[in-house]
Amino acid sequence: NSQRLIIKHLREVASILTVAGSDVVNGLSQARKTLPPRYFYSDRGSELFEEICELPEYYVTRTETAILEDCAAEIAEITGKCELVELGSGSSTKTRILLDAYNQLGLPLRYLPVDVSAGMLESSAKQLLIDYSNLEIYALAGTYELALQQLPAKELPTRMIGFIGSTLGNLNPGECEIFFSQVTQALQVGEYFLLGVDLQKPKHIIEAAYNDSQGVTAEFNLNMLEHLNRLYNGNFDTSQFKHWAFYNESENQIEMHLRSLKQQTVELHTLNLRVNFAAGETIMTEISRKFDIETIQQQLKSHGLVSKKVFTDVNNWFGLFLCQL
Ligand code: AVI
């Protein structure tokens, strides 16, 4: 199997972490404190996210999976022989639906997963090699920004960059624009972009998904502090912070925060940072934007990405856009 697997640890990961460290300093020095959501994804955080995907309230993964099951064959027919780059591949569970579709059409399989969690990347790649005897994997451990700049040469006639799971929603509008430019720079004319986004729906459904009754989302949120403690020799006491998530209707986004339960000072020694919290003060750890089909299509179009097909579910809760440059 080792001949069919290459794992590239993107070299600049170390320096990116240094830069990200300054993001932490900046975020925690603002009047309204924020932290970058990428800090959720320690190996433990990635596991917790997998648990979230299984929760009854978290409709996102189930809905997208059902759409993929319906449309994967059509996608494979449209693209023909095509290698799949997946940004934020995680456990690659949904990807299997696409791989199966290409397999069923007798098309060759080449998969290029990208993830910041090297542990998750390696374990899912190894399992995929066992399950798909004809699969070749070129895995990139690092941020998608770096991966998009360092994709290896194409080995099949075309390529599709997949960004499913509504991770786009975790980018603010400015970051979103930059991301689309990076995607189009990485694609050649005629190549594909597969984008999965969560759509607007009644507030109570969305809020339940980010306040699950088993408390997994709360643990996922708090795990960010543990991850920062490990990375930057910090002393966040997770028992003194509480998960808080609500839907901001004017911005069409979930906002996820950690609320300080008391007045306290936290230190991140490696970053030479001391942060004071008032009782009740929050750190915003994530936005999760909910989109509408027309706006996304227009935005994609402004980057030269023409949506060839839009797949949704019966409730119009989730949208999967197959675009071509
Ligand atoms: C990864 N991302 C799309 C998830 C979301 O729904 O925004 C992350 C998440 N945060 C809380 N639950 C899930």
62-99 pLDDT, tens digit per residue, is: 999 999 999 999 999 999 999 999 999 988 999 999 99
Phi-psi map region of 104: left, alpha, beta (phi>0 left; psi -120 to 50 alpha)? alpha
Whether the Cβ atoms of residue 20 and residue 146 lie closer than 8 Å to each other: no
Does pLDDT of 12 surpass 70? no
pLDDT for position 10: 87
- The protein residue with its alpha carbon nearest to ligand 1, atom 6, reads 288
Does pLDDT of 191 surpass 60? yes
Q: Ligand 1: which of 38, 39, 52 to mutate, most ligand atoms within 8 Å of CB?
A: 52
- The protein residue with its alpha carbon nearest to ligand 1, atom 5, reads 288
Checking DSSP bridges between strand 282-289 and strand 33-34, what pairing results, if any?
A: parallel
Ligand 1 centroid–CA 263 distance in Å is 29
Ligand 1 site residues (CB inside 6 A) read 52, 60, 165-167, 169-170, 210, 217, 286, 288
Does pLDDT of 16 surpass 70? no
Does pLDDT of 38 surpass 60? yes
Nearest atom in ligand 1 to the alpha carbon of residue 288 is 7
pTM of the model: 0.93
Q: What is the Cα–Cα distance from 86 to 52, expressed in whole angstroms? A: 20
Whether the Cβ atoms of residue 4 and residue 129 lie closer than 8 Å to each other: yes
- Write out the H or E segment, with its range, that includes residue 10: none
Ligand 1 centroid–CA 143 distance in Å is 17
Q: What is the Cα–Cα distance from 266 to 270, expressed in whole angstroms? A: 13
Taking CA atoms, 170 is separated from 38, 276, 279, in Å, by 9, 26, 27
Whether the Cβ atoms of residue 102 and residue 77 lie closer than 8 Å to each other: no
pLDDT for position 18: 52
Ligand 1 centroid–CA 287 distance in Å is 9
- Give the residue, 9 or 229, on which the prediction is more confident: 229
Ligand 1 centroid–CA 189 distance in Å is 31
pLDDT for position 116: 84
Taking CA atoms, 224 is separated from 55, 124, 227, 283, in Å, by 20, 22, 5, 11
Closest by CA to 192, choosing from 102, 121, 315, 117, is: 102
- pLDDT above 70 coverage of the chain, percent: 96
- Write out the H or E segment, with its range, that includes residue 15: helix 13-29
**Residues 48, 49, 50, 51, CA torsion sign:** positive
Whether the Cβ atoms of residue 165 and residue 194 lie closer than 8 Å to each other: no
Of 12-26, 32-46, 218-232, 240-254, the poorest mean pLDDT is in: 12-26
Phi, psi for residue 51 in degrees, rounded to 5: -65, -40
Average pLDDT over the chain reads 95
Residues 6+ apart with CB under 8 A from 173: none
pLDDT for position 143: 86
- Write out the H or E segment, with its range, that includes residue 307: strand 306-312
- The protein residue with its alpha carbon nearest to ligand 1, atom 2, reads 167
* Confidence band of 34 (pLDDT split at 50, 70, 90): very high
Tokens linked to 77: 């027919």
pLDDT for position 43: 84
- Environment class of residue 93 by beta-carbon count within 10 Å: exposed (0-12), middle (13-18) or buried (19+)? middle
Of 8-17, 44-53, 100-109, 286-295, the poorest mean pLDDT is in: 8-17
ipTM comes to 0.99
222-250 pLDDT, tens digit per residue, is: 999 999 999 999 999 999 999 999 999 99
Does pLDDT of 117 surpass 60? yes
Question: Tell me, what DSSP letter sits at residue 291?
Answer: B
Of 8-12, 24-28, 102-106, the poorest mean pLDDT is in: 8-12
Q: Is 187 helix (H, G, I), strand (E, B) or coil?
A: coil
Does pLDDT of 13 surpass 70? no
